[in-house]
Every structure is written in C-alpha cells, then in structure tokens.
Amino acid sequence: MVKRYLLAHNKIVETNIDDCPVLVFISPDDGEKQMLVEKFKIDEHTLQSALDPNELSWLEVEPNHLAVIFKRPKNYSAKDQLLFKPTTVGVFAFRRRIIIVLGENLNLFEGKLFNRVASLKQLLLKLIYRSIFHFLEHLKVINMITAELETKVNRSMENRYLINLFTLEKSLVYYMDAINANGVLLERLKHNAGKIGFADDENELIEDIVIENNQCAKQAEIYSSILASLMDARASIVSNNLNILIKILNIITIALMVPTLIVSIFSMNVGLPMQSLPHAFWLILGLAGVSMAIVLVIWRALRI
C-alpha cells in the first residue's frame, strides 16, 4: 500500500497526486518492491533491511540518496500479552523526495512535531525525534503496568503475575537495544552532517535529538534495573505468602487432631469412663472443645 503526502504551508498533508515529495510504502508487495528497486534505485538488500523488524539502526550514504534505518516501537495489541517490541522504519531521502518504507501501518506524522516542517531533511530528523517520544510513552505505560502487577503479586500467589513481570523485563531489554541503536545512528548523522548537507537549524535539531535519545536510554536503563532488582523480591514475597498459608493450614490440622483423638478414644467399643453418666456425650464434646482451645492458646503464646 502506498500513501502520498505534500508539504503544504510547512505541514504534512495527504494527497492523491502521483508526483509528490513524500511516499510511504506500507508492507509493499512484490510489484511495489520492484518499483522501488528499479525506478528509485534503492538497493534490494537495504529495502529488505527496512522491512526486517530485527534490523539494527544504520546509515548509508548512496550516490543519489541517503538510506536511514531506525527503530521505533511497534503498535501494541492485546495478542502481544504485555510484550512490547520495536520495529524498523526505512527512510530514503533524495534531493526532492523522501520515501518511507514500513513493515506495518504506523501513525508516522502524529504529534505537534509535524506542525511545522520546513524541509524534507527536517522531516527525516523529526521522524527519528518522534520515535524517541514514542519510546518514552511506551516506557511510561510499562512503568504503570509494572506498578499494578507489583500490587497483585504482593496479594496473590499466582504465577501469571510473575510471568507478566518477566515479559515486561524482556520488553525493556528490547527497547534498550533499539534506543541504543538509534543513538549510534544519530552519532553517524552528526558526524556526516557536512556530507549530507544539513543546515544550521537542522544540526541544532540533531543535537536536541541526541540529548533526548540519551535521556530516553537512561530512563529505559533505570526502569530495567529497578524491575530486575525487584523480581527476586517479588518471588520471595510469593514464597513467603505460601509459607504463611502452609503454617496456618498446619495449625488448623493440629488443632483438629487433638479433639479428634479424644472423640475417637471415647468411641471405642470397650468399657470406658463416664459411659454410665447421662451427660457423657456433652462432657466428651466439652473435652474436645477445651483441648482445641488449649492448642490455640499454646500456639498464640509461643507464636509458632
């Protein structure tokens, strides 16, 4: 699928015009891939890299265009079961056109960043900038889910909450790897700014993006470190809750064994004390109750 956009009044506007400066290819079919390779001279291996969700971020300066592969969060759905993973976006910047290749349909131009886009090169940088904010948004969501799961783990012994925490920890590892890969890409963009032809304001934007990406990487690292350090504590809480439950069950079992023994003794088919008394039944029940009370008193006194 192909979407077309114009730069009108410094804004991104969708259009139906074939000859437009911004083309977005979403999960391109074989015909669209052939067009990208033959008409726009995009390297076939580079094109496949743009569609590979596991590809790392990198930069390649081609004779007629600039090839940029960067990472951004994948659209989350319920079937992912709390597993947040990054995906890959390929951007091919020509002198008068920019081509974006995606493996899935993403909202690329959302947010106030795209309210003012002065050039195609600035659009490229803002796409990377937006991906950083997208990572930050997902990190906030992961932190909120983690806090909720911690509360549930403290109150429950079910394994599924711990498994969810492990899944979130895995997601943070994926995000840290993707954010660091974007950091390497930004350093290469900064190093090759003169060769690419970035203007002064675009160089300043790169500096801002580098700072934001470093902060994002640090935040992901902190969240990952906190979650990893708390996992053992959460497992210990579950184990402690289980021990408390077993202790309570053992106390109940012991408390019931003593009156059961008394009743069993007086149920034997032999001559027994109090068998001629008219109120022997109630006396035996009383002895059983007193024995249970004594066991409970001893348990509370000793704090077993």
Report the CATH number at residue 263. 1.20.58
Which is nearest to 108 in space by CA: 79, 147, 73? Answer: 73
- Whether residues 291 and 153 fall in one domain: no
Q: How many residues does the chain have?
A: 304
| Encoded tokens for 106 | 């993403």
Residue by residue, DSSP assigns 9-40 as: TTEEEEE--SS-SEEEEES--HHHHHHHHHTS
* pLDDT tier at 179, thresholds 50, 70, 90: very high
Model pLDDT, residue 137: 92
pLDDT of residue 130: 93
User: Residue 185 pLDDT > 90, yes or no?
Assistant: yes
Same domain, 15 and 129: yes
Confidence of residue 295 (pLDDT cuts 50, 70, 90): confident
User: Domain containing 136 — which CATH number?
Assistant: 3.30.460.20
pLDDT of residue 102: 92
The answer to whether residues 207 and 59 belong to one domain is yes
Is the same domain home to 229 and 270? Answer: no
Mean pLDDT value of segment 66-86: 87
Indicate whether 304 pLDDT > 60.
no
> With 80 as the cut, is the pLDDT of residue 143 above it?
yes
- 49 with 192, same domain: the answer is yes
Q: Which of 186, 185, 176, 234 is nearest to 208 (CA)?
A: 186
Choose the final residue of a domain: 197, 212, 240: 240
Residue 267's pLDDT is what? Answer: 67
Residues 6+ apart with CB under 8 A from 58: 49, 69, 184, 185, 188
* Same domain as 56, residue 11: yes
- For 241, the token pair is 């809750």
Domain count of the chain?
2
pLDDT of residue 271: 61
Last residue of a domain, one of 220, 240, 260: 240
Mean pLDDT of 161-170: 86
Q: Note the pTM of the prediction, 2 decimals.
A: 0.76
What integer pLDDT is reported at residue 77 of this predicted model? 77
Q: Which domain holds residue 274?
A: 241-302
Residues 195 and 251 grouped into a single domain: no
Q: Are 180 and 246 within one domain?
A: no
Q: Are residues 102 and 234 in the same domain?
A: yes
Which of 213, 240, 267 marks a domain boundary?
240
Query: 120-155 and 159-191 helices cross at what angle (nearest 10)?
Result: 160
| Domain shared by 91 and 16, yes or no | yes
Please indicate, yes or no, whether residues 201 and 218 belong to a single structural domain of this protein. yes
- Residue 156: pLDDT band (50, 70, 90) is low
How remote is the C-alpha of 246 from its chain's centroid?
Answer: 35
Q: Can you tell me the distance from the alpha carbon of 220 to that of 231, in angstroms, rounded to the nearest whole number?
A: 16
Tell me the pLDDT band of 301, cut-offs 50, 70 and 90.
confident
pLDDT at 174: 93
Percent residues over pLDDT 70 in the chain: 90
Q: Report the interhelical angle of 280-302 vs 200-265 (nearest 10°).
A: 140
- Of these ranges, 54-58, 214-218, 258-262, the one predicted with the greatest mean pLDDT is 214-218
Q: Judge if 121 and 257 occupy the same domain.
A: no
- What confidence score (pLDDT) does residue 236 get? 72
